[in-house]
Amino acid sequence: MKIGILTIGNELMNGRIADANSSFIAREMNAQGWTIEAMMSVGDDEEAIKTRLHYLLAFTDAVICTGGLGPTVDDITTAAVARAFGLPLVMDEDVLAHLREIFIRYNLRWTENNAKQALFPEGAQVIPNPVGTAAGFALPVKDKLVFVIPGVPSETVRMVPGGVIGLLRRYFPQATEYAAKQTVKTFGLSEAAVDERLADFDFSALGVNVGFYPVFPENHVVLIAHAERREEAQKNLQRATDAVISRLGDCIFSQGEESLEEIIAGMLTDRKLTLAVAESCTGGLIASRLTDVPGSSVFFERGVVTYSNKAKIDLLGVPADIIEQHGAVSEQTARAMAEGVRKMAKTDIGISSTGIAGPSGGTKEKPVGTVYIALCDGSLTVCRHYAFRWDRRRNKLISSEAALMMLKNHLEDKK
């Protein structure tokens, strides 16, 4: 089934508010196996609403409109939709009674403009609003369906699953297609490289749609399988997922929506392991990402951001001569930082980062983006050199990702 979305409001057109409803509605429709043909936004302008609505209906089975259902003069969506199809507005007595009830219950003063929210185009089916005063409606137009629901996100999220989807299934019983979805998150491959590695597999033959979503510094692959029957969609999705896993190998860190830090937090907590972090170029970002996870205090003992050499010596016991000989940005210093923070914190694992985030501070031997990440578990210390090429913020972010990835791989090898 083909769906169009029309979000209505001047606040969208002047950019004061970014449209969040469209992506929510799209996810809900996709989960039903239905596709979004177009999303559109217009201001509170009757002519614009009428012409855009007719345009969207021309190539969709249903259009879902949001916004402009308030009691004030600038809310004109219901009237515009009625006129778009030459229908009169009729008062719904039940809705009117319900509105007056609400006003009495919360002793608000009733003003006549509120009655406007009980007017609907002739032939419309009312969709109750469980969390607000503005009811929505579904209007059959020939063999198609026009929905109008409020634009307040907290109301939209209730009325789409609650009212819209059920009515769509009832009006379009033939729309029985199902969709199954799988996300695979990777780090360490460019978008082009991911694309190339998957190029030999024919996903479309399985009715599987492949999407690439770079979320710096990660690349996410999303597989969506469409089929007549749910079992079939799931079977095809599994085969496509296996193909992706076999081709992207250990660049995959998550088969689902979990973040890298959530996965690591789970592994450390399950195994009752503790962690300490010594950061230079990442400036506290590794600690901040790990402590974003609820319950991280169970495994996260401490972090130190040792920007100065003095701090590296005081807090980590890095020998001054190592810094003198090899520099603060060196494999030797990274190793000493990881070993030092682990020893001082008496944790099972210590990880460290040292590097040049930029934009200044680079040299010919050690250009901006030079980063060393080290990990120590008491029995061994590993260190890896990286040459990143981004701006300061992204160098920090990709360095923190590299450190977390090293930690995850270490924990997996230990399994």
Pick from 115, 222, 252, 273 the residue near its own copies by CB under 8 A. Answer: 222
With b for 16 or more beta-carbon neighbours within 10 A and e for fewer, the 210-243 pattern comes to beeeeeebbbbbebbbbbeeeebbeebbeebbeb
Q: Give the pair of three-digit tokens for residue 348.
A: 């099972």
Closest CB to its own copies among residues 46, 87: 46
- In the complex, minimum distance from the CB of residue 366 to its own copies, in angstroms, rounded to a whole number: 15
Q: Scanning residues 182 to 211, which ones bind its own copies (CB under 8 A)?
A: 190-193, 195-196, 199, 209-211
Under the binding rule (CB under 8 A), the answer on residue 256 touching its own copies is no
Closest CB to its own copies among residues 339, 413: 339
Under the binding rule (CB under 8 A), the answer on residue 27 touching its own copies is yes
d(CA 26, CA 13): 20
Residues 6+ apart with CB under 8 A from 8: 41, 42, 43, 44, 49, 65, 66, 67, 68, 77, 151
Residues 6+ apart with CB under 8 A from 294: none
Under the binding rule (CB under 8 A), the answer on residue 18 touching its own copies is yes
Under the binding rule (CB under 8 A), the answer on residue 10 touching its own copies is yes
Nearest to 395 by CA among 250, 251, 216: 216
Q: Scanning residues 335 to 354, which ones bind its own copies (CB under 8 A)?
A: 344-345
Pick from 32, 43, 46, 92 the residue near its own copies by CB under 8 A. Answer: 43
Under the binding rule (CB under 8 A), the answer on residue 113 touching its own copies is yes
Under the binding rule (CB under 8 A), the answer on residue 363 touching its own copies is no
Under the binding rule (CB under 8 A), the answer on residue 42 touching its own copies is yes
- Of 238-246, 265-273, 280-288, 402-410, which segment contacts its own copies by CB under 8 A? 280-288
Under the binding rule (CB under 8 A), the answer on residue 54 touching its own copies is no
Under the binding rule (CB under 8 A), the answer on residue 297 touching its own copies is yes
- In the complex, minimum distance from the CB of residue 131 to its own copies, in angstroms, rounded to a whole number: 7
Pick from 2, 30, 230, 382 the residue near its own copies by CB under 8 A. Answer: 30
Q: How many residues bind its own copies (CB under 8 A)?
A: 102
5 forms beta bridges with 39, 64
d(CA 231, CA 179): 10
Nearest to 3 by CA among 27, 20, 14, 12: 27
Q: Scanning residues 135 to 154, which ones bind its own copies (CB under 8 A)?
A: 152
- In the complex, minimum distance from the CB of residue 123 to its own copies, in angstroms, rounded to a whole number: 28
Nearest to 276 by CA among 317, 308, 310, 309: 317
Whether 69 contacts 127, CB under 8 Å:
no
* Helical (H) or strand (E) element with 239: helix 230-248
The C-alpha R_g of the chain, in whole angstroms, comes to 28
Closest CB to its own copies among residues 215, 380: 215
